Structure 1
């Protein structure tokens, strides 16, 4: 029996894919939780058609897991619901062939729905879809793209139990230099990145510029700007999976921690965003360069006004908070500026027609669906309330010092998020409860763990 598919996916998509890819033996089906971790199953080729006809039952608890895959009972998604099954459905356009797999495999992204076909409101992608729809009701469509910063590390730690940059996959060299913007340095990893680009092409992702970033072993890949923010978030999630898989295939580790090496800059996930009206015009674009529209100013004002209470979304893990430091290319305030990388909210230089805001607080460890959800809600908040962003920051934004409103640690961010009426409205009540409960459980796990650092500091001294 065929059940109407609430996601809009069609059997014809699956049949066309199977016909075009007769060698595919299995498909990864992936549902992304509050941490952005893909959880699901691997199905065989003959099961794909039924997935598109009837969906796939999955336990509701799959969206109530912590970073380790353990149940978080406080989400209300475990025994409060009897850990019953809901139905996951494929997302249209996300069925893609994987590169460099043996045997040949594909993957498809899923979203979770109630058994009656309504959205399961603790699914992060549904939270983003809701904000996109609210903007659409206001005659606006968000466009955007994420930047992906990451480290390529050796599979083994160094003699001091620290992460070390991977050796070049081309010839085994290792550099402990920063090598920022060194093109020659990139050449040693080109075999790996060639596979990344091939995999991205198969996935329909336009991965673009490759950069050697501001730390040994750190790189950045930029993504093509999308007129569909849901697609932009899908791209980022998928590209992380691609980089991780191809790094593993080449014998190194792709690291998406926000701060794996204390002496150097961490890895961000900057989000570029703009709005189009019904005529396709960018409403952030000014008539004369530098004569800012009220729309972009109010959007900046909304982002600034809600940033402190939203920081848990942008910095969701214990390690995330090690990224924020003076002159680290990670913001320590809510300031905004033009063509200035020392601020939290940057208006990049460039063609007026492509005017956008670069949101810089998020680490690469954040969930892009929730980041985009929160940013879009902040933009709507700023425009609705006509919030003035205050004066532009020029020169060194770090010289302004830290913003007293901003949380300084993970626990404070959890408390701020828990008590935030804005964030509850932005994410939706269920997604907000799930996300905060998961973060509180992870905080408790970290705080009760006796680490190597404890012994280094206290074993022979107290």
Structure 2
């Protein structure tokens, strides 16, 4: 294998220092995230880590052309069109961490895909986000942000009706089918699990912050510290999902990141808070007089609003994603914007003027944060470049919706069609990532469409 300098910027010295500091670690998860945000890769032994940092690791190109089930999607052009040859994955600097509570002790490192000559493999979601970050930097702007993580803790077994049910408290086995929104006492029953989540996050260098009992039985929200680097914010979200899933499993419950696992209650979002800094670190969204919005934040809102319809597949990428959107559900149903208003899609939160930001609310927790962030940044760029007016602020009940709102798809199929035809989404993701992502979604739609569900038998077996 020809030795080339690591195109990701990783160094052997980082791996050597980590091994010296952690003599107990015996193996490492090396993780690449695909279009669906699924971690794919290998577990390597301790003695293999240095060679990984010296020369990368060969992986088949098809690893980035898989659907949600891990099946090849030939329409991506990443399977037999390329002879399913190997490319080279390289470790991402700063992502090498120890894992909490593993026996024997293990570590984890994220990686990204490159061609054999070191060029970026542009169907890698991480590269799509980096391209938008780089484009903004060329314009003297530097995005900062954080994601919110909403999730369900479910029992491992289904209920008598065959549906999922909230997990019993890991502390004492107590059961509750109540909403328990914002109940502090309810949180106490999961404290042993939450303590392990916080410990694992701290070990990984993630500042996990507030835990909330959310608006459905078994639903929780965990907030993350705001990052001056949006790529780091996306890494935090990806890693925290892995942490929550692993720690829940170790406590005998299931962490669920479906957007809508329970039909009678609210779904789980992945709200993205984003602001924009200049070269001096000043937040350019801040207005001169509080409440008199700057042209910068208004144009950013205008761009996000104008591009939301053709971008919805990124924010709601799965069949189940579309069950989350319903009136009075805390999930937006039209491209509205407002101030201190949770019924809109684009919210300017209340708070210190210095922390002025946009809360982008359409994405479900099942979305890929790298692609969400790339698309949001591209939408902001579009609005700033074309000085797009976002229209009037929505006040009161945003679910009634303004009549002049740009249309958004009403279902998954419509979102796939809109995304496939979208020149903006090609601009946001890059042509290769756009082709890969939309081909995978089309294949998944076909899989779902040909599946005969229990709903079919319930509605039609004895009636038609």
TM-score by shorter chain over 0.5: yes
Deviation at 1:288, TM superposition (A): 1.2
TM-score normalized by the length of structure 1:
0.99
Deviation at 1:401, TM superposition (A): 6.7
Question: Are 1:332 and 1:401, in contact at CA under 8 Å, matched by a contact in 2?
Answer: no
Distance 2:169 2:204 in 1: 26
SS in 2 for 1:132: helix
Q: Which residue of 2 aligns with 1:199?
A: 200
Distance 2:185 2:107 in 1: 34
| Candidates 395, 412, 417, aligned match of 1:415 | 417
SS in 2 for 1:305: helix
Deviation at 1:454, TM superposition (A): 1.0
Deviation at 1:110, TM superposition (A): 0.3
Q: Which residue of 1 aligns with 2:228?
A: 227
Q: Which residue of 2 aligns with 1:460?
A: 462
Deviation at 1:425, TM superposition (A): 1.0
Distance 2:172 2:3 in 1: 54
Question: Where in structure 2 are there 5+ consecutive unaligned residues?
Answer: none
Deviation at 1:3, TM superposition (A): 2.5
Q: Which residue of 1 aligns with 2:245?
A: 244
- Give structure 1 regions of 4+ aligned residues with deviation exceeding 3 angstroms: 401-404
Q: Which residue of 1 aligns with 2:288?
A: 287
Q: Which residue of 1 aligns with 2:158?
A: 157
Deviation at 1:379, TM superposition (A): 0.2
Q: Which residue of 2 aligns with 1:446?
A: 448
Question: Are 2:309 and 2:406, in contact at CA under 8 Å, matched by a contact in 1?
Answer: no
Distance 2:352 2:323 in 1: 35
Distance 1:404 1:459 in 2: 40
Deviation at 1:400, TM superposition (A): 2.4
Distance 2:406 2:81 in 1: 39
- Residues 383-422 of structure 1 show CA distances to partners (whole Å, capped at 9, x for unaligned) of 0000000000111111227857110000000000000000
Question: Are 1:156 and 1:163, in contact at CA under 8 Å, matched by a contact in 2?
Answer: yes
SS in 2 for 1:241: helix
Question: Where in structure 1 are there 5+ consecutive unaligned residues?
Answer: none
Deviation at 1:287, TM superposition (A): 1.4
SS in 2 for 1:269: coil
Is 1:147 aligned to residue 148 of structure 2?
Answer: yes
Q: Which residue of 2 aligns with 1:123?
A: 124
Distance 1:400 1:303 in 2: 16
Distance 1:296 1:401 in 2: 20
Question: Are 2:306 and 2:406, in contact at CA under 8 Å, matched by a contact in 1?
Answer: no
Distance 2:215 2:316 in 1: 20
User: What pairs up with 1:28-427 in 2 under 5 angstroms?
Assistant: 28-400=29-401, 405-427=407-429
Q: Which residue of 1 aligns with 2:24?
A: 23
Question: Are 2:270 and 2:363, in contact at CA under 8 Å, matched by a contact in 1?
Answer: yes
TM-score normalized by the length of structure 2:
0.99
Question: Are 2:375 and 2:425, in contact at CA under 8 Å, matched by a contact in 1?
Answer: yes
Distance 2:414 2:399 in 1: 22
Distance 1:304 1:400 in 2: 13
Question: Are 2:277 and 2:283, in contact at CA under 8 Å, matched by a contact in 1?
Answer: yes
Distance 1:400 1:237 in 2: 33
- Residues 115-160 of structure 1 show CA distances to partners (whole Å, capped at 9, x for unaligned) of 1101000000000000000000000000000000000000011111
Distance 2:373 2:406 in 1: 25
